[in-house]
Amino acid sequence: MQRSTELITNIRFAVWPTRDRSSSKISTNLPPRPSLLNQRTLWGVVCLVAIAWSVQQTGIFSRSLFNPGGWSLVGRFLEASLHPDFSPDFLWLTSHSTLTTFAYAVCGTSLSVSIGVIGSVLASEVWWQSVFPSKRQTARFYFWRKKFQRWSFPNRDRWPWLSIRAVLSVPRAIHEIIWGLFFVNIFGLDPLTAVLAIALPFGAITAKVFSEILDETPRQPLLALLNSGVSPLQALTYGLIPQAFPNLLSYTFYRFECSIRSAAVLGIIGAGGLGYQILLSLQSLRYEQMWTLFLALFLLNGSVDFWSALLRHRLGLPNRLDLNTLNLTQCPSLFYQRDPVVIGSWLGVVLLLPFSFWYVQADVSKLWQPRTLQLLSEVFQTAWSPHLTGISSSQLWELATQTLAMSILAMAIAGVGGVLLSFPAAHNFFLPGGLLNPTKTNQAAKFWSTAGLLLTRFWLLVSRAIPAPIWALMWLFILFPGILPGAIALGLHNLGILGRLMAEVNENLDERPLKALKAQGAPGAQVFLYGVLPPTFPRFIAYILYRWEVCIRETVIVGLVGAGGLGRLLTEQLSSFDYPGLLVTLSCFIGLTFVVDLISTTLRKALR
């Protein structure tokens, strides 16, 4: 009897740890409140100071910003949206340009994924840990640990992994439009230029993300195979990649959507497609044609977005991109589902790949022609002694600070706008029966909430579909040149991307705690503050930081049209074949990109 009483007491104390064993009263000794002076608060203050510094760098407090003569052009541009050019000849040109942009994206994505698959294995820490057989005993010891985390990896064995990561970091730090301008000097205006300009930087980015997915995947099956004497390649193929494959496939969808936007941007340098035709129409002030091309770009991006979302939903891959919360959902029947959408998608991929390479007609033989090797050797010989011509080191430093300020201000605009628009863009919040709109019978509320959802999603589509240089050119109608139009252009473009990613986070939110709060009588404001924001806000910040890494590269493309920063200097040096100065500016830009990557990675780790 006494033993049973002690057992009941121990169970009761395990369930209510604040209950005192010696009495039946609950102890009032609550855990201390966490201090406000923690690492996250410190980083928050640093971010606010950085945003304030970026606003000061725009010069809005010291000079005039608006160009009064540009408002008439804005009026003509908006008026032209009411009557786009639907003439048969221009519609034929638009369809050809749309198909060219799509084919560039397919070719670039296929090559970048091929590079990414090979590079991710070589750049992953888990691969090099598996290669060294002398570490098997250590791996066997750690296999039986509770958390199944990483095993020993001495510093003397880290050099292959670190070397490959360093090599891959260079091409991904350079924007695809810089690669495009470089390849134009080597291959001319050949479709091969656009395909390689997408494939090289995106391949390095894909390798980095794929390697992080492999490193974060649970390693129990891999370690079991290694301890059974299986080779590292077979162990990785059968023990790790099947678990990580759903996330790898989901990120491939996201990378294809990015390739669509990059293919449109590359048209600005003369690679053809929708971007090239939009630039020609804008420069000739033919706004009716420009709106027709915009509609084609919206239709292309919207179709790819809809197909990607539908296919990922059928495969059980809810998010395009998982950051800080890697969802390793098992999809054992990924290739064997009899769903018509899945089967049609696989058949479409098989048919689109050869068609796209045939349609773009890229002259691959230029890669090994003697003239190509001669031009490359001349470029390297010219750039062997890097030095600045016509610009001082202090001016280079000023341009670098402008570039950094532009990226910070752009992400502040995109982050705030993306967070605010992500909730009306999610179908589980304001629609009838949603988390914040429990009524189901009010027809007026149903109409307005549905209209708000469609309008928000359409604006996000428009915002991310229009290339950032086109946004910058439109803002330069009414703003004087500087970093402010570039920051606004990048902010609007990234707002559409972040808003859509954040809306998916909201749509895939676990609703059980929210319904429990509502069942307890909590009002909608408290459900939002205590049930929605805590699990979603860290992921929002992670997405913003990830896009900041991309945005610092995108400052080049708005600098191309006169928005300031290092991008303008890079394009001028490429156009004038100033390769010694280009190497110095490019080194400065790559160093700035590495700093941003380091800060972003540190911040995202602090959020975990």
Mean pLDDT on 219-228 = 84
**What one-letter code names the amino acid at 497?**
I
Per-residue confidence (pLDDT) for residue 18, from 0 to 100: 44
Higher pLDDT, 139 or 299: 299
pLDDT reading at 495 higher than 90: yes
Residue 142 near residue 151, CB atoms below 8 Å: yes
pLDDT reading at 207 higher than 50: yes
Among 315, 114, 288, smallest CA distance to 199 is for: 114
Secondary structure of 561-587 as H, E, C letters? CCCCCHHHHHHHHHHCCCHHHHHHHHH
Rounded to an integer, what distance in angstroms lies between the CA atom of residue 515 and that of residue 433?
12
Per-residue confidence (pLDDT) for residue 172, from 0 to 100: 83
Rounded to an integer, what distance in angstroms lies between the CA atom of residue 59 and that of residue 57?
5
Q: Could you tell me the two tokens for 240?
A: 């790790």
pLDDT band of 267, cuts 50, 70, 90: confident
Per-residue confidence (pLDDT) for residue 98, from 0 to 100: 92
CA-based torsion, 127, 129, 135, 141: positive or negative: negative
- Which of 159-168, 310-319, 507-516, 590-599 has the lowest average pLDDT? 310-319
Rounded to an integer, what distance in angstroms lies between the CA atom of residue 83 and that of residue 60?
36
Rounded to an integer, what distance in angstroms lies between the CA atom of residue 194 and that of residue 100?
11
Higher pLDDT, 215 or 392: 215
Domains 102-151+162-379 and 395-606 share a fold: yes
CA-based torsion, 452, 490, 309, 262: positive or negative: positive
Mean pLDDT on 135-162 = 49
Rounded to an integer, what distance in angstroms lies between the CA atom of residue 364 and that of residue 372?
12
- Which of 33-42, 162-171, 410-419, 523-532 has the lowest average pLDDT? 33-42
Per-residue confidence (pLDDT) for residue 151, from 0 to 100: 44
Residue 232 near residue 127, CB atoms below 8 Å: yes
Rounded to an integer, what distance in angstroms lies between the CA atom of residue 36 and that of residue 40?
9
Rounded to an integer, what distance in angstroms lies between the CA atom of residue 477 and that of residue 73?
7
Mean pLDDT on 507-515 = 81
pLDDT reading at 173 higher than 50: yes
Phi, psi of 479 (to 5 degrees): -120, 145
**CATH architecture of the domain with residue range 102-151+162-379:** Orthogonal Bundle (1.10)
Mean pLDDT on 498-522 = 83
Residue 469 near residue 558, CB atoms below 8 Å: yes
- Which of 159-168, 188-197, 212-221 has the lowest average pLDDT? 159-168
Residue 413 near residue 492, CB atoms below 8 Å: yes
**Per-chain mean pLDDT for the chain:** 79
Higher pLDDT, 137 or 290: 290
Q: How much of the chain exceeds pLDDT 70, in percent? A: 83
Among 18, 217, 261, smallest CA distance to 124 is for: 217
pLDDT reading at 135 higher than 60: no
Among 326, 319, 497, smallest CA distance to 411 is for: 497
Mean pLDDT on 73-78 = 83
Q: Assign residue 72 a region (left: φ > 0; alpha: ψ between -120 and 50; beta: otherwise).
A: alpha
Mean pLDDT on 324-329 = 50
Mean pLDDT on 558-586 = 77
- Which of 74-83, 202-211, 305-314, 575-584 has the lowest average pLDDT? 575-584
Per-residue confidence (pLDDT) for residue 90, from 0 to 100: 92
pLDDT reading at 451 higher than 60: yes
DSSP of 391-447: --HHHHHHHHHHHHHHHHHHHHHHHHHHHHHHTTTSTTTSSTTBTTB---S-HHHHH
Residue 50 near residue 408, CB atoms below 8 Å: yes
Instruction: Report the residue count for the chain.
Output: 608
DSSP of 330-352: --TTTTT---HHHHHHHHHHHHH
- Which of 98-112, 428-442, 521-535 has the lowest average pLDDT? 428-442
pTM, two decimals, is 0.81
pLDDT reading at 439 higher than 60: yes
Per-residue confidence (pLDDT) for residue 34, from 0 to 100: 64
Show Cβ contacts of residue 142 under 8 Å, excluding neighbours closer than 6 positions.
Answer: 148, 149, 150, 151, 152, 223
How many other C-beta atoms can be found within 10 angstroms of the C-beta atom of residue 333? 12
The CATH number for 395-606, chosen from 1.10.3720.10, 3.40.50.2300, 3.40.190.10, 3.20.20.70, is 1.10.3720.10
Residue 86 near residue 293, CB atoms below 8 Å: no
CA-based torsion, 271, 265, 344, 327: positive or negative: positive
Among 85, 68, 161, 93, smallest CA distance to 123 is for: 161
Higher pLDDT, 256 or 601: 256
Domain boundaries, the chain: 102-151+162-379, 395-606
Sort 545 into a burial class: Cβ within 10 Å, 0-12 / 13-18 / 19+. Answer: buried
Mean pLDDT on 165-176 = 82
Mean pLDDT on 194-203 = 91
> Element (H or E) spanning 298, and its range?
helix 287-315
Residue 256 near residue 84, CB atoms below 8 Å: no
pLDDT reading at 271 higher than 70: yes
Q: How much of the chain exceeds pLDDT 90, in percent? A: 16
Per-residue confidence (pLDDT) for residue 20, from 0 to 100: 46
Cα separation values, 38 from 35, 44, 45, 451, Å: 6, 10, 11, 42
Rounded to an integer, what distance in angstroms lies between the CA atom of residue 145 and that of residue 342?
39
